[in-house]
Amino acid sequence: MEKISYQNKSRTSKVELPSKLGFGTIFTDHIFEMDYSSEKGWHNCAIKPVENLSVHPAAMFIHYGQSIFEGLKAFHTVDGETVIFRPESHLKRLNNSAKRLCMPQIDEVFVLHALKELVSIEKDWIPINSGESLYIRPIMFGTDEILGVHPSKKYKFIIMLSPVGAYYPEGFKPVKILMQDDYVRAVRKGVGDAKTSGNYAASLLATEIANQLGYTQVLWLDGIEQKYREEVIFVEFENEIATPKLTGSILPGITRASVIQLLKDKDYTINERLISVDEFIEAYNNGKLKGVFGTGTAAIISPVSEVTFKDKKMVINNGEASNLAVELFNEITEIQRGNSTDKHNWITKVPTEVAV
Ligand code: COI
């Protein structure tokens, strides 16, 4: 295993977090960083104080978007342990994104070790209030200084940490979403199933428009016909729960996978399948649509109070979070906080003693 060098930034004061944390505005003292070159592989592995990056203006990722990331969370359990939720799945997904963007693979075992060391060093930054966590953001980007379009030969990998509260200002309160067919986020066989920066850039304009109209989020439709929903969203129909199947343009969400597992554990009928706009509207008109919620690492479960498509406004479950959405949110947060049995081994403990 690579050796990690460690430069400590000694704090002169105790970590003090604001009483109300936003999302991703505060960063801890240290990052994990390593470099890649085709000659040396991954090297220069270090846990060091956060500092500004120095990159050449021709760096590949700035021009051509060879840039991927992940988002996962660490918590303090009720027993005072420090844990990370499903880190192996996130690192595996990072490697899948890397493959799609012609970027090098990371050694998942080594990076998990480095991540545990970093979180252990920064454990005083983990907030303790319910709904709060330490958000972990690994990033990888190409740094070749050439303007020709080709896969970079040099990369930087960084893990940074940010104590966070709820992702949406609404907290767990239901959000209004806009289903629109003017813009798409991704197309099948494109990069929609990779966690790459360009997908987020592609989502900005439609989200801005939705925000201006009073909606929190956009509900994306498929890139070809704009007929099927393409989003990490769950729909509670009368006799089944359905979520769009992974067709290549949806990110394989880790919270999505956790929710599917929890629903199976409860013997719900959960189907991963195409859900058309027409089917959704028809179920709504016939009173067969019982609830809608989104999933994601940042928000965990995001109940939906209203879905609008063109001039059709659909108020879901009287604008309230469904019982199921509340139940799933509680179940996931209880596992994360060590309050309930982790029967699927989703929790990875962080050692108290740092080995580096
Ligand atoms: C998530 O965790 O659900 C996200 O992808 C949001 C993140 C980009 C802040």
Q: What is the pLDDT of residues 300-326, one digit of tens each?
A: 999 999 999 999 999 999 999 999 999
Q: Is 196 in the pocket of ligand 1 (CB under 6 A)?
A: no
- Distance, in Å, from the CA atom of 208 to the CA atom of 212, rounded to the nearest integer, reads 6
In ligand 1, which atom is closest to the CA atom of 232?
3
- Distance, in Å, from the CA atom of 75 to the CA atom of 85, rounded to the nearest integer, reads 8
Per-residue pLDDT band for 175 (boundaries 50, 70, 90) equals very high
Given this model, what pLDDT does residue 49 score?
A: 96
| Element containing residue 233 per DSSP (H, E) | strand 233-237
Query: Cα of 32 to ligand 1 centre, how many Å?
Result: 21
Given this model, what pLDDT does residue 6 score?
A: 92
| Element containing residue 279 per DSSP (H, E) | helix 277-285
Q: Is 298 in the pocket of ligand 1 (CB under 6 A)?
A: yes
Sequence-distant (6+) residues with CB within 8 A of 22 are 164, 165
User: Considering the chain, what percentage of its residues have pLDDT values greater than 90?
Assistant: 87
User: Considering the chain, what percentage of its residues have pLDDT values greater than 70?
Assistant: 99
Count how many residues are written for the chain: 356
For 238, counting Cβ atoms within 10 Å of its Cβ (0-12 exposed, 13-18 middle, 19+ buried), the class is: exposed
Q: Which residue has the tokens 């953001």?
A: 137
Q: Is 22 in the pocket of ligand 1 (CB under 6 A)?
A: no
Instruction: Give the phi and the psi of residue 64 in degrees, each rounded to 5.
Output: -115, 10
Per-residue pLDDT band for 356 (boundaries 50, 70, 90) equals low
Residue type (1 letter), 279: E
Query: Cα of 97 to ligand 1 centre, how many Å?
Result: 15
Averaged pLDDT of the chain: 95
Per-residue pLDDT band for 231 (boundaries 50, 70, 90) equals confident
Alpha-carbon distance values, 350 to 1, 76, 117, 118, 125 (Å)? 18, 10, 8, 9, 14
Cα torsion through 166, 168, 171, 173, rounded to 10:
-160
- Distance, in Å, from the CA atom of 290 to the CA atom of 317, rounded to the nearest integer, reads 6
- Distance, in Å, from the CA atom of 106 to the CA atom of 90, rounded to the nearest integer, reads 12
Q: Is 71 in the pocket of ligand 1 (CB under 6 A)?
A: yes
Whether 210 and 180 have beta carbons less than 8 Å apart is answered as: yes
Query: Cα of 39 to ligand 1 centre, how many Å?
Result: 34
Whether 193 and 100 have beta carbons less than 8 Å apart is answered as: yes
Q: Candidates 167, 232, 233: which one to mutate for ligand 1, based on the most atoms within 8 Å of Cβ? A: 167
Alpha-carbon distance values, 138 to 109, 181, 197, 214, 222 (Å)? 15, 32, 12, 32, 28
More confident residue, 70 or 351: 70
In ligand 1, which atom is closest to the CA atom of 200?
8
- Distance, in Å, from the CA atom of 340 to the CA atom of 258, rounded to the nearest integer, reads 15
pLDDT at 355 over 80: no
Q: Is 297 in the pocket of ligand 1 (CB under 6 A)?
A: yes
Query: Cα of 132 to ligand 1 centre, how many Å?
Result: 15
